[in-house]
Structures are given as structure tokens and as C-alpha cells.
Amino acid sequence: MKEFLKLLKIEFRRIFSNNVLCAIFFGAPILYGILFGYVYQQAKVIDLPVVIVDQDLSPLTDKIVDAFDDNEALLLKDLRYTPGTIAEEMATEQYAAVITLPSGFEADILQKRHPEVRVDLNMANILNANIASKNIQQVLMTMNAGIEIEGLKKQGMHPSQAMESYESFKINFNKLYNSTGNYLSFMLPGLLGAIMQQVIFLAMALVFARDFEDGYFKELIKVKKWSVYHIGLKATPFLILLPLMWFIVSQFFIFFNIEADIFNIPMLLLTTFLTFASMGIGMLFSIMIPNQLKATELLMVISTPAFVLSGFTWPTLAIPEGINALAQSIPVTHYLSGFRKVAYYSGNISDILPELKMLVLITAVTFTTMIVVLQLKINLAKKQSKE
């Protein structure tokens, strides 16, 4: 034990003497957490620029223009009477939509000719287009209903009757789980999970690779010749430091007022096994690729698309089976699946058992492989030293 503690002190010194490792391990979660938190702090998209082309210039189209101007999500960037050079302006102005009210619009409505309002959506940004489309429909449907009801009232129908005649049934949307549609609550948890996995990958990729490069590995195996001992020695500093980093990351939920239930036993289990699985993959790469730069580059290849493949934003049902099978080998895929069940659906341990089993399986496979490969390297190093 004394020998282990002595080597452990050396490990801590080697960790804190590595500026790149310290920057990745301590700086990345804090910096990215703050950065992404403030990026999505507004929580919803507002003031999407739209153009209205009013070719009718009637009192009715004036009301429609006012209704668009009052919508929080839309910003009436320009009101014009002919299309002009909108196509040329798109590159600089990037309008979310162009709404064209045709000539003779009010007259056609009064004569029941059902005129058409043309809406040209800018689909270059799908999120903006969907939000713009939703709010444009909301405005136009409200105006449409109002016009129909006013027409029935002019025919002598009682206001309450007019309302009932137009509205044959009511629709009541009850929003569950992130009921405000807060984009920060949706995106930041997934990003933080992916960032922590990447940080663990890159930090663990350096532990053995650095020893192979600077010759410290030969000194270590003079003390003990068992791979399990050295894996435990390398893992211990991070098992001490990672709970601190997870605690710091959890404080972003409080700081940015994210509505998610994360302080519970199921979440603790998920986070623990994500940590073990990520450490297993990172250390395995560090052992198999005895070069710090190559080990980190290869792990970046895995971690960079991990968030997209996890199914957190894009549903796994829409991902091809082959790619989806690849995603199952990445720990954050199972972590984010379980995270949503616990944080938003108030799930318990039994609800996240499939995710926990996969994280345990990844951990077991990587650590078993690591023990075998490292022992082979130790035996080879011993043989070479004798020779």
C-alpha cells in the first residue's frame, strides 16, 4: 500500500504537470458548459425576420400585417407592395419567410372566392423554418377564423352561434415534459453529457501513451508486473477527480434554471457507469496505441459524431440500422437515453436497466481487453529488458 500511495503521488504530479491534460480535463467542461448555456439561454427563438408583400392594400390586409407585427416569434423586417429583389437579398438578410397577400384579396373573400396567401419558407435552416411556419399558420388561421365569424354575424347570426358554427370542435394541447418548450432545457443536458464523455476519452488516452513515450512505463513495471495493478493506479486519480467535475457540471442545471430531476439514485448510477465505460474505452486506446497524439486523434473520431448518433436530437428510428448498431457501442448513447427517462419522465432504476446493462457490458469488455493487452505488453517489456 505504501508503494501504491507513493506511485499515486507521482501520478497526480504527472497529471498536473501535463498542461494539455489539465486544459482538457478541467477547462473543457466548465468552458463549454458556460458557453453553450449562454448560447441557449434565451430558451426559444424569437424575432425571425419575415417580409410581407401586400399587393392588395386593403383594410383587411392591414389587419393581417398588424397581426404579424404583434407575433413574438416573427419580426416584420419589411412591408412592401411588390416582391422587388427578395431573392437577391436572401444572402444578406436571410428572411425566414416571405408572405404574399395577393391583389384583390379582400374582394375575393367578400365574394367567397377563397383567395390564396402564398408563404415562401426559407428551408436553409430547418429549425427557423419550422418555428416560422408554425407562427405564420397560427396568425393566418386566427385571422381566417375571425373573418368567417364576422361574416356569419353580418348575416344576422348571434355571436355565440357564429362561434359554434365555425368551431365544430375544440382542440386542447396539454404540453408535458418541458412544457414551455425551453430549448436550453432540451439541448444543454445532452451537450454536457457528450462533452464529459469526450473529456474522459481524451484524458484517459494520455495516461498510458505518455508512459510508453517517455519511458516511465519501464520504471513502473519494475514495481509490479501485474496489469490490474497498473490499471488501478492509473484510474485512481481520475476516480477521485471525476466526481468533482460531475458536481461542477451539475451546477449548470441550477445556474441556468434547467427543469430536470438529476439529483437521485438512478441518475447517479447512470453517471457512474458512463464514467466507467468512457474510462475503459479511453484507457484501452491509450494502451493499444502508444502515442499520445494518435490515441487522442482516434478517440476524437469516435467522440465527435457521438452526440448526433446518440438519438438525443435525431430519433434513432430514422437512423439506418448499421449506423445505429455502431452508435450502441458509444457510452453516451445509452447515457442520454437513460437521462431522458430519469430527468424528464421521473423514471426509476427498472426503467433504465437496458441502458445500465449496456454501459456495464461496455465497461466489462473494455477493461477485460485492457487487462489482457497490458499484460502482454508487460511480458514483452520484461522479455526485452532481460535480453
C-alpha span between 211 and 326 (Å, rounded): 31
| Whole-number pLDDT of residue 271 | 95
- CA 197 – CA 200 distance, rounded (Å): 5
Cross-strand pairs, 119: 99
Nearest-angstrom CA–CA distance, 4 and 1: 5
Residue 344, pLDDT score: 86
DSSP state of 257: T
Q: Which CATH architecture has domain 48-166?
A: 3-Layer(aba) Sandwich (3.40)
The bridge status of strand 48-54 relative to strand 97-101 is parallel
What pLDDT score was predicted for residue 308? 82
Among residues 194, 175, 191, the alpha carbon closest in space to that of 344 is found at 175
Q: What is the DSSP string of 202-213?
A: HHHHTHHHHHHH
Torsion (CA) 322, 325, 329, 334 in degrees, nearest 10 = 140
- What is the reported pTM? 0.79
User: Taking the domains of the chain in order of start, what are their residue ranges?
Assistant: 2-40+183-386, 48-166
- Find cell 453529457 and name the residue: 193
- C-alpha 330/C-alpha 307 separation (Å) is 10
Distance CA 353, CA 339 (A): 12
Q: What pLDDT is attached to residue 197?
A: 92
Q: Is 163 exposed, middle or buried (0-12, 13-18, 19+ CB in 10 A)?
A: middle
Q: What are the residue ranges in the chain where pLDDT is below 70?
A: 43, 149-156, 158-173, 176, 385-387
pLDDT at 17 (0 to 100): 82
